[in-house]
Structure 1
Amino acid sequence: MKKAAVVLVLLVLTGWAIYDAFLQKNNFEKKIGGMSNSQAVEGLEVGNRAPDFALRTLNGEEVRLSDFRGKKVIVNIWATWCPPCRAEMPDMQAFYEEYKNQGVEIVAVNLTKSEKNSEQVTRFIETYGITFTVVLDEKGEVSQRYQAQAIPTSYVIDSEGIIRNKMIGPMSKDWMMEQMKQID
């Protein structure tokens, strides 16, 4: 009788431990999925709040990443001299044209410090017909903060400012569309 009671207690405790572990995993996933901006830790990993930054456009207008809170944002770190960056720009523009009225923004952070001059950036934007937001990282602070070791490097950020994915290398329109579907 004592052995049966001990076995029963062990079974109940094992079942409870499994249930508790499953419940905690689900609660963690729900917490990440529904994490508000104030609860998330700032960082560069998926599930972190994206670090805010302020940079200027070619027109001198200050743009902050936090200005786009409430929209899904792709932060793309690039340079005019970078072949993979050049390759992804037509897809980025096509994607932006299709999604800009659906609460989606692209913030292209140019590594201005690595350019010959800002005129190069202006010519590039005109040549490629870029209409999304382009900001100048003149001191390299944002590219350093976002750990862009290779370019292009892109971060997919949800409407709450939470990083949902990171891509090193050129993005395709299909990849960007899939990212937006995943964070709906």
Structure 2
Amino acid sequence: MKKVIFGISFLVILVGIMIGNIATDKKEEEAGPNLYDVTGDTSVSGGMIAPVESVGIQPGEAAPDFSLETLDGEVVSLSELKGGKVILNFWATWCPPCREEMPEIQKFYDAHQDDIKIIAVNFNEKDEKVIDFLDEFGYTFPSPLDREGSVGKEYGVLTLPTTYFINSDGVIQEPRHVGPMDYEFMEKMLDTLN
């Protein structure tokens, strides 16, 4: 008798869980995708609540200097690029939006490498993985490695890709861009930067 009561109780609980899941799924379908942009950043689709320290460097602030090594052993120092315009991009091989923007960055780099420097900082990955990725797709723009993630942390990078636009005075001129960039957007930034 106890087994029968236990079995019936178990079935009632399972049916209750199923009904609850169906009701939750129906509510989510009615609500649609993320309806509220809580970031305040109009360039971001979706939204999230993030700690204050992830706001990053703001327009008008000096871009923090760093020196990072590329895969071929060259050291890239932001301070050495002062006097020229810079697009500073943080990315990773595992990041789908990063993969989406990489061909656009290469196309832009090929067309404008004399007008603006592109520094695509790989964020916290192993060298071999980055080498394989860059070689596979033939990306040739400078891609130094932020092996410990310290530069990304200093820039408040929480989401990848994140891009900063630095003018010839070494100052962040435009709000950071979170998410993939396309060729036209990069051209607009080139024309906007002093």
Fold match by TM threshold 0.5: yes
The match for 2:149 is: 140
1:70 aligned partner, one-letter code: G
Higher-helix-fraction structure: 1
d(CA) in 1 for partners of 2:84 and 2:169? 8
The match for 1:182 is: 192
The match for 2:123 among 111, 120, 123 is 111
Aligned length: 138
CA contact (8 A) 2:165 2:193 kept: no
| TM, length-normalised to structure 2 | 0.68
d(CA) in 2 for partners of 1:150 and 1:119? 23
Q: What's the Cα RMSD here? A: 1.2
d(CA) in 2 for partners of 1:127 and 1:156? 28
Residue deviations 1:42-74 (CA, integer Å, cap 9, x gap): x81101110001111112222111111111101
Structure 1 unaligned regions, length at least 5 = 1-42
4+ runs deviating over 4 angstroms: none
Overall identity of the aligned pairs, in %: 44
Task: After TM superposition, give the deviation of residue 173 of structure 1 in Å.
Answer: 0.7
Task: After TM superposition, give the deviation of residue 111 of structure 1 in Å.
Answer: 1.2
* Partner secondary structure for residue 94 of structure 2: coil
The match for 2:111 is: 98
Structure 2 unaligned regions, length at least 5 = 1-55
* Partner secondary structure for residue 134 of structure 1: coil
CA contact (8 A) 1:89 1:128 kept: no
